[in-house]
Structure 1
Amino acid sequence: MPPRNDAALDFLLNRRSRPAKTLTAPGPSRAELLPILTAAARSPDHGKLEPWRFIVLEQGAMPRLAELAERRGRDLAKSDEDVVKGRAQFDQGVLAVAVIEVQKDSPKIPALEQTYSTGAVCLALLNAALASGWGANWLTGWVAHDPVFCTEGLGLVEHERVAGFIHIATETSAPPDRPRPDLDAITRWVSE
C-alpha cells in the first residue's frame, strides 16, 4: 500500500465551503494569497495549455463591480431579487479571485477538457483557501455569464469567460454540515 497523507484525506473528507455572506475582513494579503494561487495553478492541465487565468478582485474594486452588477441587472430587466443577489456578492465581498477560462486552440486538447481543467482550478483554489485557514466560497450567478459585465467589469475578451468568483476572507461562523451524496446511489462498480 502506498504511503497515506491522513491529514490531507481528513481535510478533503470534512471540507465545507463557507457562505460568502458570512465572510468578513480581513482577507488574505497578496503574500498570503500567492501560495493559494500557486496550489490552484497545479491543477490537471492536459497539454500544458493553461486554459485559465486569475483576476484578483481586491476590496477597492468591489463597489465598482457592485454598481455595474446593479446597472446590468436593470438593463437586462432582471427581477429585483436577482439584481440584489448579483450586486450583493460584490457589496459584501472582501476579496475574490475571478477564475477565467481562456479557451486555447489545440489540435490535441478539446475545448471541453479545457473547461474541465478550469473547473479543477476553481475547486483547487477553494480548497487551498480553506486549507490555509480562510473562509471561502465559489460563486457564479448571472453576472458571471453576462458578457457586458465581464467585458466592462473584468476586461474579458471574446474567447474568455468566468468559471467562478472564489470569495476568500475571514469566516465568522461555520455552517452546519449538509447532507452529502449517497455513494451507493451514484456509484457503479465494473469488474468484468
Structure 2
Amino acid sequence: MTATSTPQETPVDQDPLYRPWGTVTPESWTGTPAPTTEDTAEAEPLDVPGRLARIHEAATAGEPEKALLLAEELDTASTAAHGELHLATIQVREIRGYLTDLAGHPDTALAWYLHTARLRSRLHGPHAEDTDQAVRRAYSLWRHMPAPQARATAEALLATITEIQGENALATRWTRRRITELSSA
C-alpha cells in the first residue's frame, strides 16, 4: 500500500468477523436459543407414560422382542430429548435391562444394569440411594445367574461396583464373597 492510496474498507455487515447476529430477543441474553418455526414444527412432546404402557402391554402379552424394540425406540427419543444423564433416560435403560433379562439374555441385561448404575452415580453421586439401589439390582441379577454366566460376568460386575462405591463397600465385599463361592464350586 502506498502513502497515497487508502485502504479498501469493507462494510461491517459484509465482513465475516462482524456479520449480524440476527434479531436480539430476551433469550439472546440467557444463552437459550429461541425456537425456530422448523424446531417447533418437528418437536413432538415425548409421551413417556403412553409409550411405557405400550411396552408393558407387549411384555405382558408375551412379546418380549416387541417390548424391547419399543423400549429401544423410547430410549432413542429420550436421549435425543433429554440427554444420557437425565433420570427419564436412565430409567428407560433400566427397563431395557429388565426386558433383556425377561427375553433370556441375563448377561446383556447385566451390562445394561451396570451402565445405568454408572449413570446414576454420575447423576446423583456414588452413595446416593438411587445409586445404591441400581448397584443392588445389578448384583441381584448377577447373583441369580447360572454359575457359568455368573463366572463369566463377575469381573465386570466387581470392577463397576468397585469403581462406583469403592474397595470396601458392602456390595463390593458381597461380590467378592460370591466370586469366591463360584470359584470353589
Calculate the TM-score normalised by the size of structure 1: 0.27
| Structure exhibiting the larger radius of gyration computed from Cα positions | 2
Higher RCO, 1 vs 2 (CA within 8 Å, ≥6 residues apart)? 1
Calculate the TM-score normalised by the size of structure 2: 0.28
Larger relative strand fraction: 1
